[in-house]
Amino acid sequence: MKKKVIHYKALSPALTARLEQAFDLEYIDLKAPGGEARLRERLPEAQGLLGSSFKLTPELLDLAPRLEAIASVSVGFDSYDLPYLERRGILLCNTPDVLTESVADAAFALLLATARRIVELADWVRAGQWQASLGEAHFGCDVHGKTLGLVGMGRIGQAIARRAHLGFGMSVTYTAHAAKPEVDERYGARFLPLPELLASCDFLCVSVPLSAETHHLLGAAELARLPAHAILVNVSRGPVIDETALIAALQEGRLRGAGLDVFDREPVAPDSPLLRLPNVVPTPHLGSATHETREAMARCAVDNLLAALSGQRPANLVNPQVWQSRQ
């Protein structure tokens, strides 16, 4: 008998066919009326789950006593209770690597758009306000040749560093758990403690995962260390930055601007002060949102689930200790 798999993320016909060959597959559209109720009803049968953008709480997963594996179509796993999954012996897989370049592209798009005031001035043109040559009141700032500080030097951080150093001739500094000599050599990068990094950069880009350690990693005291001409870009998770402190710094002119793809609350509240600030470029968590990358992420998740439910070690295990305990 085939194992029961529920996916709550729509998949392409090719990926759906792959899963249907191996499993008793059911799709539940959580956005449809009664979608979440349907999921609750079907969870007792599920041995595998595949999806994203939905918090699978312990209370929900208690309804799935047969569950063996979850394939998350994402890199981040901050919405999962890892100690709970370990107690239950449930494998959790994610999709790293395949979205690295797309997120780095998005980070640099935000950096450039904020520095050159692209969104603000495009709206200005659309409003019919372009009546003469631009004056200083509408000037932006250069990106090339400046210093980029990176908080985090994982896959995405390194992809951003490559664009900055090789594409824009920027000096790259970074903070991480430890210096990475190979990155230093490849991109002329320099490891710095966070306080020194903040004080010396023209642009700051955040690309660390959200955890207890990184929650509000950048608060009021840290933001105060940034030069007033600095621009902050966040493509990690909203709560890595204290949003209230960020709003205050932007409103008071203690930061030149911010390019934000992530927020404390998503979707961002329509009345958020961030949406009323002309020096903020807000985007709707679009880092991996290209046709090519989302399909690659879904394909990776399918590969992970096929391996996990056939007794093979998935390539992208978030909790390898669960696998080890099975051996």
**How far, rounded to the nearest angstrom, does the alpha carbon of residue 260 sit from its chain's CA centroid?**
11
Same domain, 210 and 318: no
Bridge partners, 232 (sequence order): 204, 258
Residues 138 and 81 in one domain: no
Are residues 156 and 278 part of one domain? Answer: yes
State whether 140 and 228 are in the same domain. yes
Residues 114-126: pLDDT tens digits?
Answer: 999 999 999 999 9
**pLDDT, position 78:** 86
Whether residue 261 contacts residue 110, with contact meaning beta carbons closer than 8 Å, is answered with yes
The CATH number assigned to the domain holding 265 equals 3.40.50.720
Q: Does 237 qualify as catalytic in the annotation?
A: yes
| Together in a domain, 161 and 264 | yes
User: Which residue out of 7, 18, 117, 285 is catalytically annotated?
Assistant: 285
**Domain count along the chain:** 2
Q: What are the tens digits of pLDDT across the range 71-107?
A: 999 998 988 999 999 999 999 999 999 999 999 999 9
- One domain, residues 297 and 270: no
Asked if residue 76 and residue 153 are part of one domain, the reply reads: no
Give strand pairing partners of 50.
Answer: 7, 71
76 three-state secondary structure: coil
Q: Which two tokens stand for residue 153?
A: 């030097």
Distance between CA atoms of 102 and 115, rounded to whole angstroms? 20
Instruction: Give pTM, 2 decimals.
Output: 0.92
20 in the same domain as 75: yes
Distances (CA, A) of 297 to 43, 221, 305: 24, 37, 12
Q: Are residues 122 and 264 in the same domain?
A: yes
Asked if residue 272 and residue 127 are part of one domain, the reply reads yes
Residues 168 and 277 in one domain: yes
Contact 200, 224 (CB under 8 A): no
Identified catalytic residue from 266, 276, 292, 326: 266
Closest-CA residue to 258 (of 284, 223, 231, 220): 231
Phi, psi of 84 (to 5 degrees): -65, -45
β partners of residue 93: 71, 317
Residues 114, 205: one domain? yes
Measured distance CA(226)–CA(310) in Å, rounded: 51
Catalytic residue, from 7, 163, 237, 256: name it. 237
Instruction: List the domain range (segments joined by +) for residue 117.
Output: 100-282
Over the stretch 118-157, which tens digit does the pLDDT of each residue have? Answer: 999 999 999 999 999 999 999 999 999 999 999 999 999 9
DSSP state of 273: G
